[in-house]
Structure 1
Amino acid sequence: MKQIVPVQKNETLTVTIEDLTHDGSGVAKVKGYALFIPQALPGEKAEVKVVKTKKGYGFARLMNLVDESPSRVEPPCPIFHQCGGCQIQHMDYGAQLHMKQKQVKEVMARIGKLPDVPVHPVVGMNEPWRYRNKSQVPVAFQRGELVAGFYAKRSHHIVDMDECIIQHKENDLVVQTIKRLAKELRIPAYNEEKHNGVLRHIVARYGKTTDQVMVVLVTRGKKLPQKDELIAGIREAIPTVVSIVQNINNERTNVIFGKQTDVLWGETYLYDEINGIRFAISARSFYQVNPDQTNRLYQKALDYAELTGSETVIDAYCGIGTISLFLAQKAKHVYGVEIVPEAITDAKRNAKLNHIDNATFAVGEAEKVIPWWHAQGVTADVIVVDPPRKGCDEALLNTMLKMKPERIVYVSCNPATLARDLRILEDGGYRTKVVTPVDMFPQTNHVECVAVLTLI
């Protein structure tokens, strides 16, 4: 029997918002049928227009607020309603933190079948603005001129901008400077459809503790018109710049970086510090974008590892060694593994930079390298994982269950895959003691978590 959808496309309704989705959209029910409404908040009564219907749910646009939530604030960003970068700027920061804690609790119960696991309040920021140390801005030719900004929601249309209030001001200066110079020097923007033009992305990196700036110009080919004038213009406009880099990406792809990176002027790296540990960061290094919250996140991971100085630790997705080097200060020895060769080169350099000699790094898949280490006699007391959004590889989860470390510390950027993996580890003989969410990305729907499991 065909299900009858109780709403029609383009229909205008007055609804009450009951809940929020994981991406910050309001949820209203019409005869049991869910409508998802961006920028609507729980408790609000609103006039909405249905824009799309599916069998089990639909989408609507917020037209008019009848009753407003006390958690609603005026978004300070002038392009908030067009830009797809921030989803919940219209929400009071306390309400944002509450929403993120609720989201983590719900996925622990629904996906992880762990309704009783304590989920602590979210570790928030005192000042939840201007926190990002890295900006990646696409460039295009629109309406007869070069523009650079962030993509509009669910599109590849660029919303032109000169300022982003979650970016550090130095990153804004880089974007403003490159836009101005590209126009003055007639450097053509990349055309996605025709696959021609030159400038694809402007990437800015900022070292908060060193006040150093790196400028990365992502271009379609090696040729960069007016290169010398461009370098001179950047150096004149940005006194804190220490590195100007060109990355070449000639592929028809949404991936930002290509394989070839050339230093046009200055250093290969910029430097930054987290809790006294110094990091050399190259153009393509993975480095957390919120250094203040990264410190809090990693301190929590270190607390949960409960190191006394006698433990052997394995860091299964070590990147450039950020967590590994934190752990090495308190552990007997740390073994870090990462699939990206350049990241391991950076990790070894960072260990040397900090005179840390009790860390060993290897390139490869964790699920292959760790059993090999085990065969060489390495027994882990603690395993730390910080996987990508898709979560841990199944083979790695099985490897950890076979190795049986006393504790597993799981750092996650995706609560849903965290909950899924915690369930697998629980079924394999571990118990999740606690989950602490950390707000690494204020004004957005994302939340990072750190959890600790102990062997039963």
Structure 2
Amino acid sequence: MEQIKDEKIVENVKSKDNNVELTTESKENVKEETKTTNETSTETPSDQIYVPNSTLHSMVIFGLPKYLDSKKFTKFLEQNNVPFKKIKKIVKESFGIVSFDSVEDRDKYLEYFQGFQFNDKTKLKTEAKEEKSDRMKRKYEEKELDKKEDNRESKLLTIEEIVCPWYNIPYEEQLKKKKNQIEKVMINIKSTTRKESLHNLPEWLVKRDKTKEEKMCCGLEEIVPSPVTENYRNKAQYTIGYDADNKPCVGFALGRTGNGITIVADPSNAPLISKRSNEIRRLFNEYITEPNLGSNRKPFDKNSHSGFWRQLTVRDFTTGETMATVQFNHKGLTAEELETEKNNLKNYFASLPEEQRITSLSIQLYDGISNSAPVDLAVETIDGPEFIHENLLGCQFRVSANAFFQINTKATELLYSKVLDWAQVSQDTTLLDICCGTGTIGQCISKKVKKVIGLEISPDAVIDSINNAKLNKIDNAEYLVGKAEDTLPTLLTKSNGGKDQEFIGIVDPPRGGLHGDVLKAIRTFEPIKKLVYVSCNQNSLIPDAAKLCKGISKTMKGTPFVPTKAIAFDLFPHTDLVELVVLFERVENNTTTTTTTTTNSDNNLIIQENENEKEEEEEEDKKRKRDENEEIENENNEKKEIKLEN
């Protein structure tokens, strides 16, 4: 890890939210504290700016030993009778953060630890940490010095710039830009693998280094353009809020709530949205704005956390079937009132002309403060079936409200065809479809393999997968629900080490990539000779690929994979997003090379390698903690609050 000066670290610390590691005695109070923080949030008089109150007051202590972990730091504070509420101390960093309930306690221990003799060599220094609410107020005041309040809305991005930022760039030029992006990713995979391998380089990397012009980790084929570039999205999640004129609007937010922007704009001119989806959105917009149509409820206000209508999700497939899911904020409503709203909504859509009716209409109850509801939040169908159908490569798939399905059907068929081609399966193959969603990839290839085993975290998606297998008359597929990091190691253990079996893996993970335990399970299960990785977020692909391909270590055993070829598919025209498919293979005699200089330095090298492996273990532990925190936060830190599933 690159060493950074304390002053620079604190500057970074101050720029982040006040998220600190919890002590044992304070963990049980987290939920109550979070609830209190959210409920006491207030709205500033400024236009559309929301600043949360902070209930904690923090300070930074400098000069701590780098080896000191959070447990030892906690013990040190307890020995000095510090009434802290939360703490944070990262190994290898020379500072720690302590949070208190009151500013008086914070100021007292700022003075107490200033110049504190920690040991014979070190004296501590302290500094107050700027709280989130103070920071947001300060930033807002600084911005207001540079612009007048009347000009604020005129500087907002347009709906086209938010939803499809490349809409004004010729499509051929978009493809060139995406190709350049992917080339950089391929170069980064190679360099990151080198850093991960340290003194234990895999043989494939050594060979590739001999040819200087081969900067990328493997060959990259030409990017495949989307067959359709307009109105291609088969799913959209519309925010229900207020437009610039403070009128109810069903559309997309023009920015992040954290940046003080809560305005919602009409997306009719966005070239990504299908015409049918936009028509359903328009009809629903009429329903919530016209009192005579059956509803007098207000949209959800993100500042006051009040209001009824929160979100509209629309699916529109090439089969002509459509699905709409409306999210309610049911807080404070009786069962009778909710039933009335359901019936009114159902009767409205049922009264429309035949060509405007929806195949499946459902509702979702969510009263949380976060913008994003849990991915497995229950859905209640109030009209029509619980699912709709889409066709892919000669198979038909039912898709429920919470299930994942690629958003560009025609381009997805091209992508899946390439995945199946590269997998090169046989009748002896057991296909592991990891993060399988509704079972699309595995079932498209099921007739060519011995068995398909699908792993998926969403129970609704697994139910869809099982029913899709029946629908397509597939009897050699089974599906397991749960986190892949839990189900995969157990599954591989039960397979008796994979003796006399041929395994090929296909992974299509969410944007966060694969969990560290999944990567370990894949690496250590030697019968998996081939892995096809479908990436929608190349920032997570890079570290995942490095772990699959790095040299053997204590934290990553098993023969390294070799990236052999890659190809990108443009599933998202007019945006900077792209799907990248990389084929990883285990090559026989793919050994690792230990780099040495002289015989006399062997002992030093062994010591260095042990230190490196210890660092890797610590990094794995930190990544696992980050993954757990990300699951709890439920994807609340996305870049843009567009509400479009990629």
Cα distance in 2 between the residues matched to 1:358 and 1:214: 30
CA distance in 2, matches of 1:275, 1:187: 44
Question: The residue matched to 2:252 in structure 1 has which SS?
Answer: strand
- Equivalent position of 1:276 in the other structure: 394
Determine the structure 1 residue equivalent to 2:449.
331
Q: Could you list the per-position Cα deviations for residues 45-86 of structure 1 after superposition, in whole angstroms to 9, with x for gaps in the alignment?
A: xxxxxxxxxxxxxxxxxxxxxxxxxxxxxxxxxx85664111
Structure 1 residue runs of 5 or longer lacking an equivalent are 4-78
> TM-score with structure 1 length normalisation?
0.78
1:453 equivalent in alignment to 2:584: yes
Question: Residues of 1 paired with 2:480 and 2:159: CA distance?
Answer: 45
Who is 1:369 aligned against? 487
Could you tell me which residue of structure 2 aligns to residue 46 of structure 1?
A: none
Structure 1 equivalent of residue 564 of structure 2:
433
Which residue number in structure 1 is paired with residue 224 of structure 2?
123
Distance 1:144 1:81 in 2: 17
Q: 3-state SS of the aligned residue for 1:121?
A: coil
Quote the residue 2:297 is aligned against: 187
Match of 1:314, SS state, is strand
Q: Which protein is richer in strand relative to its size?
A: 1
Q: What amino acid maps onto 1:105 in structure 2?
A: E
Q: Show the counterpart of 1:260.
A: 378
Does the CA contact (< 8 Å) of 2:311 and 2:326 recur in 1? yes
Change (3 A) 1:205 1:426: same
Letter aligned with residue 372 of structure 2:
V
CA shift, 1:136, in A, is: 0.7
- Specify the alignment match of 1:54 in structure 2: none
Distance 2:582 2:566 in 1: 4
Query: Does 1:145 find its partner at 2:237?
Result: no
Q: Is the 8 A contact 1:85 1:151 kept in 2?
A: no
2:321 paired with 1:199: no
1:178 aligned to which of 268, 278, 284: 284
Deviations 1:327-359 (A, max 9, x none): 213211011111222221111111111111111
**Residues 212 and 240 of structure 1 are in contact (CA less than 8 Å); yes or no, is this contact kept in structure 2?**
no
Q: Does the 8 Å contact 2:305/2:369 carry over to 1?
A: yes
Shift of 1:112: 3.4
Aligned to 1:112: 190
Q: Partners of 1:116 and 1:281 in 2: how far apart?
A: 37
Deviation sequence 1:233-260 (CA, Å, 0-9, x none) = 3231553511111111111111146723
Per mean C-alpha deviation after superposition, the further-off stretch among 146-155 and 233-242 is 233-242
1:280-291 equivalent positions in 2, closer than 5 A: 280-291=398-409
Matched residue of 1:96: which SS? helix
Task: Assess, with a 3 A threshold, how the Cα gap between structure 1 residues 453 and 274 changes in structure 2: closer, same or farther.
Answer: same
2:418 counterpart letter in structure 1: K
What's the counterpart of residue 387 of structure 1?
A: 509
Deviation at 1:224, TM superposition (A): 6.3
| Percent pairwise identity | 26
Deviation for aligned residue 1:226: 5.0
Aligned partners of 1:83 and 1:159 also within 8 Å: no
Deviation, 1:383, is: 0.9
Q: Secondary structure at the match of 2:162?
A: coil
Deviation at 1:309, TM superposition (A): 2.1
1:403 to 515, 525, 534: 525
Q: Distance in 2 between matches of 1:262 and 1:218?
A: 10
Deviation at 1:227, TM superposition (A): 4.1
Structure 2 counterpart of 1:95: 173
The question of whether the paired residues in 1 share the 8 Å contact of 2:489 and 2:518 is answered with: no
> Conserved in 1, the CA contact under 8 Å of 2:159 and 2:266?
no
Shift of 1:99: 1.0
Select between 185-194 and 386-395 the one with higher mean Cα deviation.
185-194
- For structure 2, the 5+ residue unaligned runs are 9-156, 192-214, 551-558, 588-646
Letter in 2 for 1:397: L
Amino acid at match of 2:164: C
Does the CA contact (< 8 Å) of 2:532 and 2:583 recur in 1? yes
- Which structure features the higher share of helix residues? 2
Aligned counterpart, 2:81: none
Tell me, what secondary structure is at the counterpart of 2:163? coil
The Cα offsets for residues 376-404 of structure 1, whole Å up to 9 and x where unpaired, read as 22635201111111211111111111112
- Matched residues in 1 for 2:430 and 2:228: separation? 37
After TM superposition, give the deviation of residue 225 of structure 1 in Å: 5.3
Report the equivalent of 1:20: none
Q: Give the structure 2 partner of residue 249 of structure 1.
A: 366
The alpha-carbon distance between structure 1 residues 344 and 82, as it changes in their structure 2 partners (threshold 3 A), is closer
Q: How many residues align?
A: 380
The residue type paired with residue 366 of structure 1 is A
Q: Indicate how the Cα distance of structure 1 residues 116 and 340 shifts in structure 2: closer, same or farther if over 3 A, else same.
A: closer
State which of 335, 345, 353 in structure 2 corresponds to 1:230.
345
Alignment check: 8 A CA contact 1:164 1:172 kept = no
**Shift in Å at residue 440 of structure 1?**
0.8
CA distance in 2, matches of 1:348, 1:193: 42
- Report the AA paired with residue 453 of structure 1: F
In the aligned structure 1, how far is the partner of 2:440 from the partner of 2:540?
22
- The superposition leaves residues 250-305 of structure 1 with CA deviations (integer Å, 9 ceiling, x where unpaired) of 11111146723211111111111111211111111111111111111111111110
Q: Once the two structures are superposed, what CA deviation does each residue of 1:110-148 show, in whole Å capped at 9, x if it has no partner?
A: 243262511112111233111001111001134342112
Per-residue CA deviation, residues 152-210 of structure 1 (Å, 9 max, x unaligned), is: 144432123345321111100110000011111333211122222211111111121x2
CA distance in 1, matches of 2:299, 2:340: 12
Q: Say if 1:302 and 1:118 are closer, same or farther in 2 by CA, change over 3 A.
A: same
TM-score by length of 2: 0.56
CA distance in structure 2 between the partners assigned to 1:430 and 1:100 by the alignment: 26
- Alignment-mate amino acid for residue 385 of structure 1: V
* CA–CA distance in structure 2, aligned partners of residues 331 and 171 of structure 1: 37
Return the alpha-carbon distance in structure 1 between the equivalents of residues 227 and 458 of structure 2: 34
Q: What is the distance in 1 between the residues matched to 2:275 and 2:339? A: 26
SS at match of 2:379: strand
1:322 is displaced (CA, Å) by 1.4
Larger radius of gyration between Structure 1 and Structure 2: 2
Q: How big is each residue's C-alpha offset from its partner over 1:94-118, in whole Å with a ceiling of 9 and x where there is no partner?
A: 1111111111110221243262511
1:40-55 alignment, distance < 5 Å:
none
Residue type of the partner of 2:275?
A: K
